Amino acid sequence: MRTFTIALAGNPNTGKSTLFNALTGLKQHTGNWSGKTVSLASGYYEYKNTRFEIVDLPGTYSLFSNSADEEIARDFIVFEKPDITLLVLDSTALERSLNLALQVLEMTDRVIVCLNLIDEAKKKGIQIHAGKLSDKLGVPVIPISARNKEGLDVLSDHLLRMCMGQIQTTPYRMQYNEQLEMDINRLESEIIDIIGTDYPSRWLAIRFLDGDQKLVATLKDRISSQAKGGTVHYGAAAKAFGSSNSHHSC
């Protein structure tokens, strides 16, 4: 049986671990993932004869290189390439969560959004138009209450269907000003020339223009370990990434 990997991402306190426990039934183990030896809680979940490995990423407010937690969550999404990144948002504080959502949507198109704590939102008289939000974000948006185990069947159905390739997404991508878009496009095609399309090239271009040196270093490491397998010409890539930072800011 093939196992699909689902990464739980979101701000701290949005109910990621509660959802993790509800899905996996607390049978958690800590797995070591490639790259840095980072231990992340993961557990298995079976639904309709399909096995999912759920990985509980550290809670973060953004996914830059501000902290070890941000790097861990970011590296997992970009380099481990989970089948789905499940974004857990707090329905009672959407404005805070959506910032992270926009960042994730720049990194991957395999995203499902959970509006968690929907019970709390209802109590507070907050009404969320999940369908409209889904149209805007270009990915499924599913109201749930992880603590009350509500909405988990609908969520599981979406996980299964997206893993089976039955749900296509059109993730919302931030548009920057004309000059930046030109720079992004130019750098993106250089990136594709060097490392192909294995990693999210537009997102990499944006991060590089922002001067994210730590990401440059991480990418060099990844390419270097791939190159040992003979797939990428590390020298050329390292040279290009070493010199492609400018001082623009997004």
Ligand X SMILES: Nc1nc2c(ncn2[C@@H]2O[C@H](COP(=O)(O)OP(=O)(O)O)[C@@H](O)[C@H]2O)c(=O)[nH]1
Residues that bind Mg ion (CB under 5 A): 16-17
Please report how close the Cβ of residue 169 comes to Mg ion at its closest, in angstroms. Answer: 26
Please report how close the Cβ of residue 91 comes to Mg ion at its closest, in angstroms. Answer: 17
Tell me the C-alpha distance between 67 and 39, whole Å. 16
69 contributes a contact to ligand X by CB under 6 A: no
The residue among 148 and 166 lying less far from ligand X, judged by its C-beta, is: 148
The residue among 152 and 205 lying less far from ligand X, judged by its C-beta, is: 152
The residue among 58 and 200 lying less far from ligand X, judged by its C-beta, is: 58
Site string for ligand X, 124-163 (x = CB under 6 A): ---------------------xxxx---------------
Coarse DSSP helix, strand, coil percentages of the chain, rounded to the nearest 5 percent? 45, 20, 35
The backbone torsions φ and ψ at residue 127, rounded to the nearest 5 degrees and listed phi first, read: -110, 130
Please report how close the Cβ of residue 107 comes to ligand X at its closest, in angstroms. Answer: 19
42 contributes a contact to ligand X by CB under 6 A: no
119 contributes a contact to ligand X by CB under 6 A: yes
DSSP code of residue 59: P
Structure tokens at 45: 């979940």
Name the one residue in this structure whose structure tokens are 């590390």. Answer: 234
The residue among 18 and 108 lying less far from Mg ion, judged by its C-beta, is: 18
Member of 83, 106, 109, 120 binding ligand X (CB under 6 A)? 120
The dihedral of CA 228, 70, 85, 134: what is its sign? negative
Please report how close the Cβ of residue 195 comes to ligand X at its closest, in angstroms. Answer: 33
The rounded Cα 214 to chain-centroid distance in angstroms is 18
The backbone torsions φ and ψ at residue 240, rounded to the nearest 5 degrees and listed phi first, read: -65, -45
Task: Report which secondary-structure segment, H or E, holds 27.
Answer: none
Cα dist. 158→2, 126, 128, 170 in Å?
Answer: 17, 24, 19, 15
- Under the rule (CB under 6 A), what is the footprint of ligand X? 10, 12-18, 59, 116-117, 119-120, 145-148
